[in-house]
Amino acid sequence: MNHKKTIAPLLLSALAVSSCGGGGSGASLDFDFNARPTYLNDIRQTTYDGVGDDLLTAGMGRTGLQDDQAPGYEGAQPTTEELRRNAIYTNYRALVDTTTAGGYGTLYGPNIDAQGRVGSGEGKVAGLEAIAYSDDGTGRRNITLMVQVPDGFDRSRPCIVTATSSGSRGIYGGISTGEWGLKRGCAVAYTDKGTGTSPHDLQTDTVALVDGTRTTATLAGTRAAFNAGLSAADLAAFNAATPQRLAFKHAHSGQNPEKDWGNATLQAVEFAFYVINERFGDRSPGGQPLRSFQPSNTTVIASSLSNGGGAAIAAAELDTQGLIDGVAVSEPSVQLPANAGVTVQRGGRTVAVNGRPLIDYVTQAHLYQSCAALAPSLASTPFAATFAIRFADPAFPAAANRCAGLRAQGLLTATSTSAQAEEALARLVSYGWEPESGALHASLAAFEVAPAIAVTYANALSRSSVKDNLCGYSFATTSSIGAVGPTPPAVLADMFSTGNGIPPTAGVQIVNNRSRGVPVRDVFSFNTAGVPTWNLEGALCLRNLLTGTDAAAQRLQAGLDETRRNGNLRGKPAIIVHGRDDALLPVNHTSRPYAALNRRVEGSASRLRYIEVTNAQHFDGFIGLTAALPGYDSRYVPLHVYLNRALDAMYDHLVNGQALPPSQVVRTVPRGGTPGDAPAITAANVPPIAATPAAANAITVTSGAISVPD
């Protein structure tokens, strides 16, 4: 148990002042002044009144966040305030289902208070927002950090929650986690962890600043959120050879940002301490702010989801200063050691392939998923029928040709498309995907999720420059038939708000530079024989970077090793929640083996709990897309509910001494009904995390092994 000491800052200040004044004793005291971290550059602070604008909803309230119409812009050049408002709108809706039937406004949302009570208000939160870069002075890193401090910050029970961005998103990419902290009266520490949404448009040589506004690379200088770093000669040569291309920070910074996600999260916490002490800390007799709030008297929970959750775990592993008290994360992306030596079982059956890193299983998905999506056994799953019409029609059989191409490469053996698709599906299951994940393959393949991640992470891990065109891939805006063209200024201006940092995004597509004839959008490209195979050659090239021995492969493999975690949470209490059906970050490669590794590393000192949620998957935001993705609503419950509950449990453990819940499977109840028109969710669909789970739901974790019931 890790109770925080509650120290009254004002009392400490009074004692400090009295000890250094009067009495003739000559006593003196060195004040602990609030020093600004040296890596912070250009801190900007804005206060929001909670009426016209606010920390959580940018003035839109819960009603505006739910509105299908984005707030938009009044003029041709978006203002800083407009960009922020649209960024919060886009990111919040990307992370959670904002339909009433899906639980918004009843189970979660701005009108739900910290105790889970449903209110009728708009949920706006007044307070201070401070934003800055973390950099070494060169402008090459420029990791964005942000702190939100609500006016209701509880000085008697101070707390900080991290909300590192998910995916490759920008600074508001963890806003749905930040919501929990703001409601608790906690400061929220955000970081984009060296990723971000705004590209360097190489043709016009324009970049974004920290607030999303754009200018020329020359005028921005070291203030650019991201500059691809090409010399004038290289830029001219690149534009001549491959015009109208875009560089993105996660893919093309040359920094391998994932290796530093933990440090970026820790710096966000340090920034939060600095900001709250500037605002609420005691003052010396000379009026200088003191470090009244410190790790010793402030509860700090590292949290977030997906990549942000993985960053929270990395931060806890790296935390030698004792900044973090506990961890509560959802569906984290964690890269295990190369030979983790762990065993994963489900229902008594050993999962042969587990604990692989993201670049491994995502390049496997890139090879097989578009073929597997045609499996007859998946015909009734979301988007499967539409996928077959788009990509298996004789007029453009890209997915069917992918199946045939895999057979020609010796990667499948079946002879018919349907049999090849079933074989491809079986290959994914044997590589660690749960059978329940199969229902998601068609929609994820259609949205090009695996190629998007494979291309971006291969570039990032190998520290490739945009000019390298790794495996023949690039990023550009394309027409409806896939032709490369210029990115409209209005689209560029808005990308800070509407992009996700990893193409396809906001009209920017993955381009196959090696397509027969001319470069075109990847999914529409042709191989050297003039056959559309969804760029099988590119997928094989990316896979070879993991398995091969050439220079590019060695660079990627070295970069991968820099991102691996060690499983040592330093005895910190932690809760991981993960959806069993997750097809993006399969549980057998992430949370399950990490729990086993942590127990092997920490032994009896481990305080990690693993909560696996049935009928839950990676993209809560897809559940509400009932017109585009009918069937998500009838099949899946929001995992966001369980992240909130994990945060509740961790806070109660740290502050009130409540016991952590044991590791367990939570068996939810799908909404059912007609796909696209499922009945409204109720509390019965999302049962609580049990204080004492039934034996049939208990997860057993021993040294290097985890056993999960069916």
Q: What is the DSSP track for 107-143?
A: TBSTTB-TT--B-SS-----EEEEEEEE--SSSS--E
Separation of alpha carbons 539 and 452, rounded Å: 11
Whether 595 and 576 have beta carbons less than 8 Å apart is answered as yes
Q: Which among 165, 166, 284, 306 is annotated as catalytic?
A: 306
Separation of alpha carbons 15 and 31, rounded Å: 11
Residue located via tokens 């491959």? 242
Partners of 215 in the β-ladder: 207
Burial readout 250-276 (b: 16 or more C-beta within 10 A, e: otherwise): bbbbbbbbbbbbbbbbbbbbbbbbbbb
Q: What is the DSSP track for 515-535?
A: SSSS-EEGGG---TTS---SS
Question: CA angle, corner 551, sides to 547 and 553, nearest 5?
Answer: 25
SS (H, E, C) 76-109: CCCCHHHHHHHHHHHHHHHHCCCCCCCCECCCEC
CA 441 from centre of chain: 20
How many other C-beta atoms lie within 10 A of the C-beta of residue 75?
7
Separation of alpha carbons 515 and 532, rounded Å: 9
Partners of 190 in the β-ladder: 146
Separation of alpha carbons 377 and 256, rounded Å: 39
How many other C-beta atoms lie within 10 A of the C-beta of residue 531?
14
**Residue 416 falls in the annotated catalytic set:** no
| SS3 (DSSP) at 671 | coil
The DSSP element (H or E) to which 459 belongs, if any, is helix 449-461
The two tokens of residue 166 are: 């998910």
How many other C-beta atoms lie within 10 A of the C-beta of residue 50?
20
Spatial CB neighbours of 105, under 8 Å, sequence gap ≥ 6: 62, 66, 111, 112, 118
429 to 199, 385, 423, 588, 620: CA distances (angstroms): 36, 21, 10, 10, 23
Q: Cα-flanking dihedrals φ and ψ of residue 685, to 5°?
A: -75, -25
Question: CA angle, corner 165, sides to 164 and 171, nearest 5?
Answer: 100
Q: Give the pairing type, strands 214-216 and 520-521.
A: unpaired
Separation of alpha carbons 419 and 425, rounded Å: 10
Whether 368 and 502 have beta carbons less than 8 Å apart is answered as no
Whether 230 and 240 have beta carbons less than 8 Å apart is answered as no
Tell me the catalytic residues.
306
